[in-house]
Structure 1
Amino acid sequence: MTKYQHQTRLLAAIDCIIFGFDGTTLKLLLVQRAIQPEKGRWSLMGGFIQPDESADIAAVRVLKKLTGLEGVYLEQLHTFSDPKRDPIERTLSVTYFALIDIHRYEQQLSDEYHAEWFTLTEIPQLIFDHPEMMYMAQEKLRYKAALHPLLFELLPKKFTLPQLQSLYECVYDMPFDKRNFTRKVLSTKLLVKQKDKDKGNSKKGAFFYKLDNKQYKANLHAFLNIIPNPPIG
């Protein structure tokens, strides 16, 4: 027997949800869909899993083909399986999400599929169930960021405390008290203060910090107390 009898074949697809931080604003990477239906409309990075591929390998291939991005850590999020999610044919979608520093990858970004960054407050209308995918990825991001310093993946190697606070405010869509946030962040002992300052935003300037990688690996849960009422996954 080479196939299971009396079973309907399904298509399996990949969709990648890529969040990026430009030092000020959290953004989502989108492309214009190249095929019908909904050709030309904004979409997450998607494509079909090939017979000789795992979902993980397909996600890497699809992301590189549609954006030029490679070497990005992708984490599997969820499988979307509503029978009517694709109007053409029954298709399951395995979703992945990633966090990147936009400036670190901006030279890789391809123009072929018109990949473009959008702030989370200016997301255009998306195809199919892609809005649901985006919202689920946001909630997963918030949950994971409350448990450990995941958001450092979105920062340059040297960063200021105002940059870090801005990032957390973008992710959680809420303001943080500057003095309280600074106190809590420094109490984690995960940051190493640098001698130089960023003077681009004020005459006084703000000291740069670096993540202490040894402390980071030993204290992955040190940031839990920074988030008031952290989400429960």
Structure 2
Amino acid sequence: MSYPVFAVTVDLVVLTVRDGELNVLLVQRGIEPHLGRWALPGGFVLADEDLDAAAKRELAEETGLDGPAGHLEQLGSYGAPDRDPRGRVVTVAYLALLPDLPTPTAGTDAAAAAWTPIGKLGLAFDHDRILADGIERARSKLEYTPLAAAFCPPEFTIAALRQVYEAVWGEELDPRNFHRKATSTPGFVESTGHSTEGEPGRPARLYRRGDAVLLNPPILRRKPNG
């Protein structure tokens, strides 16, 4: 039997929170197709590597970020026949949630790499759709899992955790209500026994991620009107 020939790529939706805003890691393409346009980092899977290894390799090669040290999961697969002008290419997308990291450095076929605030970006290929799917996955994950802590350093304040929710969801949360929910939800966070030092105002307690896999009860977003 003969089988159709197609290539496999990986693309990464890498999200972080910088200066109170949700940012995505983008690369400017240094080669055709879509020369000069911004895109998600990614590339072709080599014949001798699995998908997870390809995702980590491409992230390091195109941005100089070795990792990720946060959360990485498969997001979905995208295989529209015309999604890549070079031929039939199926991509497996990954979602990474990371604490704030240094400015990335472009490499291999990327002309530049940058953290970019979420908005109407007009990305190459079908990357706008992949990015939208990744953002919605992240927003949903924050409701039912403790993955908001993946955006935080190993020790964090409840205020910093709340700012992650606000940045990812795009809505303000009541500080007292959020503090109560975060500290009373079993396994979400646990106190380190330490407090912030050298900052203006009253010292704040420091927490780390707990051992919960799911949040019960969940911390839910505000439902849109209508």
Asked if Structure 1 and Structure 2 have the same fold, meaning a TM-score greater than 0.5 normalized by the shorter chain, the answer is yes
Report the counterpart of residue 77 of structure 1 in structure 2. Answer: 75
Q: Distance in 1 between matches of 2:221 and 2:43?
A: 38
Work out the CA distance in 1 between the residues paired with 2:118 and 2:23: 6
SS of structure 1 residue aligned to 2:204: strand
Q: Aligned Cα RMSD in Å?
A: 2.2
Gaps of 5+ in 2: none
| Cα distance in 2 for residues equivalent to 1:126 and 1:205 | 44
Task: Work out which of the residue numbers 93, 99, 102 in structure 2 matches 1:101.
Answer: 99
Cα distance in 2 between the residues matched to 1:31 and 1:187: 40
Give 3-state SS (helix, strand or coil) of 1:26's partner: strand
Question: How far apart in 2 are the matches of 1:30 and 1:18?
Answer: 8
Instruction: Report the Cα offset of residue 35 of structure 1.
Output: 1.6
Q: Quick one: percent identity of the two aligned structures?
A: 31
CA shift for structure 1 position 117: 0.3
- 8 Å CA contact retained: 1:13, 1:91: yes
The answer to whether the Cα contact below 8 Å between 2:105 and 2:113 also exists between their aligned partners in 1 is: yes
**Greater helix percent: which structure?**
1
CA distance in 2, matches of 1:32, 1:224: 42
Shift in CA distance, 211/39, structure 1 to aligned 2, threshold 3 Å:
same
> What's 1:133 paired with?
130
The aligned amino acid for 1:61 is R
**Contact 2:17–2:167 at 8 Å: present in 1 too?**
no
Query: 1:173 pairs with 170, 173, 178, which one?
Result: 170
Alpha-carbon distance between aligned partners in 2 of 1:163 and 1:31, rounded to the nearest angstrom: 28
Matching residue of 1:20: 16
In 1, Cα distance between equivalents of 2:17 and 2:92 = 24
Q: Residues 54, 195 of structure 1: CA spacing in aligned structure 2 closer, same or farther, 3 A cutoff?
A: closer
Say whether 1:152 aligns with 2:145: no
State the TM-score, normalizing by the size of structure 1. 0.83
Determine if contact 1:75/1:97 at 8 Å carries over to the other structure: yes
Deviations 1:12-66 (A, max 9, x none): 1111110112362221000011221111110001211122222222111111110
Q: Distance in 1 between matches of 2:217 and 2:197?
A: 27
Q: Any idea what the Cα deviations from partners look like across 1:153-175, whole Å, max 9, x if unmatched?
A: 11012222221111101111222
State the 1:67 CA deviation.
0.9
The corresponding residue for 1:35 is 31
Q: Distance between the aligned counterparts of 1:43 and 1:192, measured in 2? A: 39
Amino acid at match of 2:63: T
State whether structure 2 residue 215 is matched by structure 1 residue 222: yes
The aligned counterpart of 2:6 is: 10
Q: How many residues align?
A: 216
1:223 is displaced (CA, Å) by 5.8
Name structure 1 gaps, 5 residues minimum.
none
